[in-house]
Amino acid sequence: MKENAKTFNLINAAALLEQEFEPLRFAIEKILPHGLFILAGSGKIGKSWLALDMCTAVSSGGRLWDFHAEQGEVLYLALEDNQARLQGRLNKIEAEKTDIKRLHLVTAAFGINSGLIEQTHNHLAAYPDTKLIIIDTLERIRDTEQDKSMYSCDYRDMNALRSITDKHKLTLLLIDYKNSKIE
């Protein structure tokens, strides 16, 4: 073997079992842990309504179904909505009956490679108690050409977004539309 050969950074199983790790935290107990996730489905099945329910649960420290939400600041990028539509939806779910002062709504943002990451870090500096960010929809923040395979582009974009969850202990949920037709 060469003297300057690359090697793996190994840990044996016994040493791994002796290490202590911080327990997994959840924005919504048992169903929405901290980290980066994608909620995808066909159009008009209620993804945005579910996202808004998650936002109000976390911002108020309430519940989503039978699951308790950890109260904190919430950033909801509702990039396919306008303020009037968001107001209508909040009224329909009777959000005024809960404490939603921690829910911050956005209807326009930069793309992943043109300023979104910086916008998000700046928001988190102003609101360090943020527990949940929802971006509705993923397609609205993708601003680069598909210069490689779709997998490579997804990998690049997810790594950029993961930098947010790596630096700040929170949940980042991306809403994505997937056509139900199999291609």
pLDDT band per the 50, 70, 90 thresholds, residue 152: confident
Q: Give the helix ranges, DSSP H, for 34-106.
A: 47-60, 83-92
- Please state the rounded mean pLDDT for residues 22-39: 96
Average pLDDT of the segment spanning 99-122: 96
* CATH code of the domain made up of 24-177: 3.40.50.300
* pLDDT at res. 3: 62
Distance CA 2, CA 9 (A): 17
Token duo for residue 157:
């974009």
Max distance between CA atoms of the chain, in angstroms, equals 69
Q: Assign 2 a pLDDT band (cuts: 50, 70, 90).
A: low
In this structure, are residues 42 and 180 in contact, taking their beta carbons and an 8 Å threshold? yes
Separation of alpha carbons 61 and 75, rounded Å: 15
Position 5 scores a pLDDT of 78
Average confidence (pLDDT) over 111-123: 96
Strand, coil or helix: 39: strand
Kindly report, residue by residue over 48-101, the tens digit of the pLDDT.
999 999 999 999 999 999 999 999 999 999 999 999 999 999 999 999 899 999
Q: What is the pTM of this model?
A: 0.89
Rounded to 10 degrees, what is the CA torsion of 68, 69, 70, 74? -170
pLDDT value of position 153: 86
Indicate if the alpha-carbon torsion angle 111, 114, 117, 121 is positive or negative. Answer: negative
Cβ contacts of residue 48 below 8 Å, gap of 6+?
A: 78, 80, 81, 89, 136, 175
Backbone angles phi, psi at 2, to 5 degrees: -65, 150
Q: What is the pLDDT of residue 1?
A: 47
Helices (H), 11-109: 13-18, 47-60, 83-92
Position with higher pLDDT, 180 vs 120: 120
